[in-house]
Structure 1
């Protein structure tokens, strides 16, 4: 069980270190009336200092702009043994390593 905990911690580091992220710089069109919020890809406005999650992307708005990072690791960043598969739950924004032969059981990676 301890090896699984180590794996979960390492998976968390992978998410933090190698997630798909993007930054959209805040555009100031009028210096006399600078923006007070960010506008996301759906056109929704978010005030400076706000944070939210949408489609498993953790986003935040600052006076510099809008930044978002995926909460789920990219498959290319995780070394998955042949007998295992990564199963993503987009409702909870989590990923598990499960046995291909029995998806009710988690992989023993160590």
Structure 2
């Protein structure tokens, strides 16, 4: 059981260290009418200094631009998962866990 806790802690570090991030520099088209925020991929304006999470992507808007990082790692970014197990993503909580393929209610015990 202790090895499972160690694995989950390491998985959390992987998420923090390997999150995919993007940065879109703020573009000023008219010096007389500078932007007062960042526009997200859906066209919504967010004020400078604001932060939000949508679809497990955490974004922030600064006067430099829009920065977004996914909170869920790609499959290639997690430690090797045994064949009888699989990585399950919970988009409601933006979390992952490793469960048995045969019984998704049971977490894998890793050595």
- The reply to whether TM is greater than 0.5 is yes
Looking at structure 1, the residues matched to 62 and 72 of structure 2 have their Cα atoms a distance apart, in angstroms, of 23
1:50-79: CA deviation from partner (whole Å, max 9, x where unpaired) = 110111101111111111111111001112
RMSD: 1.2
Aligned mates of 1:4, 1:51 — CA distance in 2: 33
Which residue in the other structure is 1:96 paired with?
97
Query: C-alpha separation between the residues in 2 aligned to 1:76 and 1:12?
Result: 14
* Alpha-carbon offset, residue 2 of structure 1: 2.5
Equivalent residue number for residue 87 of structure 2: 86
Q: Which runs of 4+ in 1 moved over 4 A?
A: none
Q: Mind listing any 5+ residue stretches in structure 2 that lack a counterpart?
A: none
TM-score after normalising by structure 2: 0.91
Q: Which residue of 2 aligns with 1:19?
A: 19
Q: Please identify, of 98-107 and 25-34, the stretch whose mean Cα deviation from structure 2 is larger.
A: 25-34
Q: Give the whole-Å Cα distance in 2 for the aligned partners of 1:63 and 1:16.
A: 24
Q: How many residues align?
A: 110
Instruction: Specify the alignment match of 1:34 in structure 2.
Output: 34
